[in-house]
A and B are shown apart, each in its own frame.
Chain A
Amino acid sequence: MPLQGGVIAISGLVKRFRVDGAELTALGGVDLWIAPGEFLTVVGASGCGKSTLLRLIAGLEHADAGVLSHDGAPIAGPSLARGLVFQEPRLFPWLTVAQNVAVGLENAPLSRAEKALAVAEHLTLVGLSAFARAWPHQLSGGMAQRVAIARGLVNRPDVLLLDEPFGALDMLTRARLQDELRAIQQRAGATTVFVTHDVDEAAYLGDRVVVLAPRPGRIREIVDVKLPARRDRADPRLAGVRERVLRALGEDPGYPRPALVADAAWRRPATLAPAAVLQ
């Protein structure tokens, strides 16, 4: 397991886009150091540049200024050492579930047998061994996203990047996948960067929560979540983290009515996890 590698260092990162002839600064000077094995969540209103940040780390975009490095090597393009899971599963509809996971290994220096083994292992990891030969259109949204996670992990990358992967799922599936992802991340030991606009999700999953402010995208605050790896959604300390994240977001007029959001954030997990409340 790649416990040593997986350091992402970012300094002075600037990214601009041209939209309808006008220049838009998506990221205006981001400095961030991500520790190996860390679970970092990035939260912010839409348009704050959080997806852009993730795509830059993945190597899908190029920075206009600043330095990005992975274990000391500058990031110049995509690498098999950095897995990326998109908001949509983006499965190949003409490949079965197992073949879709194997897509990740297309350029991996492994033998055919080793690839088959890795695919089977990762399907087990996401609980989909029984669906290896199913077509993507036969899967539910949650299952499809699990396949995408297995594909993102199958190379055993030391950095896993996730771009609002549970955004389109219903609440129950979402809560279950959040727990699965944390468990998987702890087993795999990969440095994880998880982008979301959901404050609950960011607080529940992250070792640290990076709060981004928009126009231009920059880090407003980094909230340290000093909580054990095994988490309880009803933990009152989690509410404190949410409170801090919301306050940081609230300084941004683009994020609507923090008091109301905080209220909803407090109630939702409790109704989601009654067992946890009873304990």
Chain B
Amino acid sequence: MSRRALRGAVLPMLLLAAWEGASRTGLADPRLLPSPEAVAAAAWHGATGGGLPGHLAISICRDLAGFALGAAAGLPFGFLLGLSRVARTLLGPGFDAVRQIAVFAWIPLIAMWFGIGETAKIVFIAIAAFAPVALNTAEGVRSASRDLLEVGAVFRFTRAQRIRRIFLPGALPSILTGVHLGLINAWLATIGAEYFMTAGSGIGGLVIEGRDRFDMAQVMLGVLLLATTGFAFNAIAAAGEKRLLRWRRV
């Protein structure tokens, strides 16, 4: 492990130690804050027979499906907004207004339109992922270098060449920022969808179920899993960005 990764692990380790200490000394009520051992036992039980991997897989698949849908819509929409002034004046204000709606405010509407099943959850996640992807793509495309576009004109670039050679790579840093944010948003939305549209499985469902049964070890386990998975998504996105943007000065 690198020095930096080790340093990053200091805070979680301290928290874990404090948690352990609080449980041992009886400072924390074990009914409200179960000991790390109890959570580990719940994890072991869940992993061996409680269907924990299944719940995790369901959440991740749901997240990725929604994210893919949102990003697939957000990218072309962002490109359209970035490239066309007409599209910007026509769709820009509407998009800005819709964006002001907090993502969780969509839940009642979505529930009415799509029920609370799988479709509704994926639509909700897609909406959460759409905005940052569309917004950052539009911003990146709009800020394409006039100087390079002129170079393109000198070499008689076609529209397709302009997009492929100038707009797309020029906007890539911004697009990846949007994708990264979209991924984070999608994961938050996945949890939200599982909390609020509680039909079915997934880590969020597990947490709610734990709360209802007053099984705090299961709640803690769920929260920890959500954090770890989010962290993993974040790390994967960051590594992908680094790889794709290796032409940039570091």
Interface residues, chain A, with chain B CB atoms under 8 Å away: 58, 60, 77-80, 83-84, 86, 88, 90, 92-95, 103-104, 106-107, 135, 137
Contacts and interface: CB of A to CB of B under 8 A. Distances in A.
Interface string B143-185: 0000110110111111001000110011010000000000000
A65 B61 CA distance: 64
A92 B147 contact: no
A104 B148 contact: no
Interface of B: 147-148, 150-151, 153-158, 161, 165-166, 169-170, 172, 247-249
A214 B165 CA distance: 38
A82 B147 CA distance: 18
A226 B154 CA distance: 33
B155 A107 contact: yes
A55 to B, nearest CB: 9
B150 A103 contact: no
Q: Which 10 A-B pairs have the closest CB atoms?
A: A94-B169, A137-B249, A94-B247, A84-B154, A78-B154, A90-B147, A107-B156, A90-B151, A135-B247, A78-B153
A93 B165 CA distance: 11
13 contacts: A60-B154, A77-B156, A78-B153, A80-B156, A86-B151, A92-B148, A92-B166, A93-B247, A94-B169, A94-B247, A107-B155, A107-B157, A107-B161
A80 B150 contact: no
B169 A106 contact: no
A106 B160 CA distance: 12
A165 B247 CA distance: 24
Dominant secondary structure of chain A at its interface with chain B: loop
Contacts of B148: 90, 92
Contact of A106 (B147, B161, B249): B161
A78 B172 contact: no
B246 to A, nearest CB: 8
A86 B155 contact: no
Interface centre among A77, A94, A104, by most chain B C-beta atoms within 10 angstroms, is A94
Given A79-B156, A84-B154, A90-B148, 6 more contacts: A77-B156, A83-B154, A90-B150, A92-B151, A92-B169, A137-B248
Contact of B154 (A58, A88, A137): A58
Contacts of B170: 94
Nearest to A96: B247
Contacts of B172: 94
B247 A103 contact: no
A242 B148 CA distance: 35
B18 to A, nearest CB: 45
Interface centre among B150, B151, B247, by most chain A C-beta atoms within 10 angstroms, is B151
